[in-house]
Structure 1
Amino acid sequence: MNIEEKVSFEEKQYDLLTIGEILVDMISKDFSEDFSNDEYVKKFGGSPANIVINTKRLGLNSIVASSVGYDGFGDFLVSYLQNQGVDISLITRTTYPTSMVVVTRSKGTPIPIFYRGADYEIEYTQKLEEAIKNSKIMHFSTWPLSREKSRKVVEKGIEAAKKSGTLIGFDPNYHKDLWDMDVDGVSYIKSIIKYVDFIKPSEDDAERIFGKDTPENQIKKFIELGAKLVVMTLGKDGVIVADKNKMQRFSTLATEVQDTTGAGDAFWSGFYTGIVKGRSIQEAVKVGLAASAFKLRYVGAISPMPKYEDLIKEFNV
């Protein structure tokens, strides 16, 4: 995979399929780093679902596979997706409570508290396998990898994607607190990098996996583990994109920051949209930066993302 080239896709039913968590984000009304706030606002959340909603608004045909509880929060999440025009046929319901994350508004990296339940009860079905085979890109994060049941779903999904020529995107957003105590999450993440086509670590993700180092050295470590394309997001310092032969830095397009929650998901959304729309990897990175800059103007993981044509016109990318 070459950062200067476009990605060729077969004609398939879905542009993007994501596997993973749908959950409720409880976000503080005010900026704080120590959870001293008294008021929190309920927001739709879960990285895979955020990406599907964003890409739907940008013009892709996207679908999410996930699990929520038979409770009010589960109803809220499913209804939200339906109102956004998202296909909910790959979402299962369970007696476990809907998962939730409590987080404070931040201009840096938000520090979350996790309350998990239904998100890892996702099931691998024949319908999911057919959807994977009929998707141009399959995306997942470390959330489903952190528990055995959902981890097996992703593993089967990777196998199906490889057989059908579906490209694989991986968000290595490792958080130790999410993983079962008897599983070495870092070692597992390192072991599957060779199977994916796109990987987008943040600086914090890379540090949690490899320890402290420069962004350039961190990217080399991902490449050495078999990553074909690495995009490292650097917050206000932009991104670095790299294949095994070349590394290139891009500046941020953000001019206003209301809340960083979901900025990485917005980047993924713009990046995938750019690729599917026929842009080179380099150009798709710019679309990702535009989508992220747009999202940063709003509180919560989801913003009123515009159509692809309007986004690239506004940010001149």
Structure 2
Amino acid sequence: SFYRNPGADTQITFDEVNKDALANAKVLCFGSLLLTAEPGRTAVPQIVSYAREHGAITAYDPNWRAPLWPNAEAGIHAMKSLLPLADVVKASDEELEMLTGCTEIEAGAKEFFKLGVQAAVITRGAKGCVVCTPKTTLTLNTYDTKVVDTTGSGDSFFGAFLTKLMETGKPVSEINEAELRDAADFANAAGSVCATKKGAIPALADRELIETCRASIPLLKL
């Protein structure tokens, strides 16, 4: 259930945003839910463009939530509108098909690349993830942890993945295959650890727990 008509998030304006924070950001992560109402609908592209112009990696999580849109067509149209602003896109299998019309991951990723996206990360739940760039496709299994609650796992996955990208100090287009694989594996571990506890924020893992998972938990074989 969403108690949100309006929500504080949709009421953000570009004028009230801290421009210094945007100009100095290494990564800006954004989603589509602020597009459900004004002034957020106008502010989001302005905020993302400003950060991108100042050198930030822009990372997009479409985050499909059907109850927040009047209909699927409106939601899909809005989600698509932000793709050209993204260096990195994280999407589920379902979101990939919604945004591109493609059921094959590599075909869908190519549609993203046509819009300027540099890396597509497709999350597949227990099946792990697939990372695509114009140069390579990597498929990684996730970790065989005991799942209690998956709330927050996707966000922790993406946060961990972006942390690793940021730490390379490179533009996304210059990050090599080994660095992408490490980022995806680190992200899989972060999402897996998060799923072992109830809740979202309380279940988030720090780097020590993530690395412990990578070192001691076997990969899930399906």
TM-score, length basis structure 2: 0.81
The aligned amino acid for 1:115 is: Y
Change (3 A) 1:304 1:213: closer
Q: Is the 8 A contact 1:199 1:227 kept in 2?
A: yes
1:72-100: CA deviation from partner (whole Å, max 9, x where unpaired): xxxxxxxxxxxxxxxxxxxxxxxxxxxxx
Identity of paired residues, percent?
28
Map of 2:131 onto structure 1: 241
Change (3 A) 1:295 1:172: same
Which structure has more strand as a fraction of its residues? 1
2: distance between equivalents of 1:177 and 1:223? 29
The aligned amino acid for 1:114 is: F
The aligned amino acid for 2:198 is: V
Map of 1:160 onto structure 2: 50
Q: Is the 8 A contact 1:198 1:229 kept in 2?
A: yes
Check if 1:315 corresponds to 2:198.
Answer: no
Deviation at 1:211? Answer: 4.5
The 3-state SS of whatever aligns with 1:169 is strand
Q: Is the 8 A contact 2:27 2:166 kept in 1?
A: no
Map of 1:57 onto structure 2: none
Map of 2:59 onto structure 1: 169
2: distance between equivalents of 1:127 and 1:194? 22
Map of 1:87 onto structure 2: none
Larger Rg: 1
Alignment counterpart, residue 291 of structure 1, candidates 178, 190, 204 = 190
Check if 1:188 corresponds to 2:87.
Answer: no
The aligned amino acid for 1:284 is: A
Q: Is the 8 A contact 1:167 1:197 kept in 2?
A: yes
The 3-state SS of whatever aligns with 2:14 is coil
Deviation at 1:193? Answer: 1.2
Q: Is the 8 A contact 2:87 2:116 kept in 1?
A: no
1:20-76: CA deviation from partner (whole Å, max 9, x where unpaired): xxxxxxxxxxxxxxxxxxxxxxxxxxxxxxxxxxxxxxxxxxxxxxxxxxxxxxxxx
Map of 1:300 onto structure 2: 199
Deviation at 1:143? Answer: 0.8
Q: Is the 8 A contact 1:202 1:234 kept in 2?
A: yes
Give the alignment's Cα RMSD to 1 decimal: 2.4
Alignment counterpart, residue 150 of structure 2, candidates 248, 257, 260 = 260
Q: Is the 8 A contact 2:89 2:120 kept in 1?
A: yes
Q: Is the 8 A contact 2:120 2:133 kept in 1?
A: yes
Which structure has more helix as a fraction of its residues? 2
2: distance between equivalents of 1:257 and 1:140? 27
1:261-308: CA deviation from partner (whole Å, max 9, x where unpaired): 111001012112222333822211111101000001011222343431
Check if 1:146 corresponds to 2:36.
Answer: yes
Change (3 A) 1:114 1:254: farther
Check if 1:276 corresponds to 2:175.
Answer: no
1: distance between equivalents of 2:185 and 2:98? 26
Q: Is the 8 A contact 1:173 1:201 kept in 2?
A: yes
Q: Is the 8 A contact 1:190 1:225 kept in 2?
A: no
1: distance between equivalents of 2:43 and 2:190? 29
Map of 1:223 onto structure 2: 113
- The aligned runs of 1:15-34 (5 Å cut-off) are none
The 3-state SS of whatever aligns with 2:188 is helix
Deviation at 1:311? Answer: 2.0
TM-score, length basis structure 1: 0.59
Map of 1:55 onto structure 2: none
Q: Larger RCO: Structure 1 or Structure 2 (Cα < 8 Å, ≥ 6 residues apart)? A: 1
The 3-state SS of whatever aligns with 1:201 is strand
Structure 1, unaligned stretches of length 5 or more? 1-112
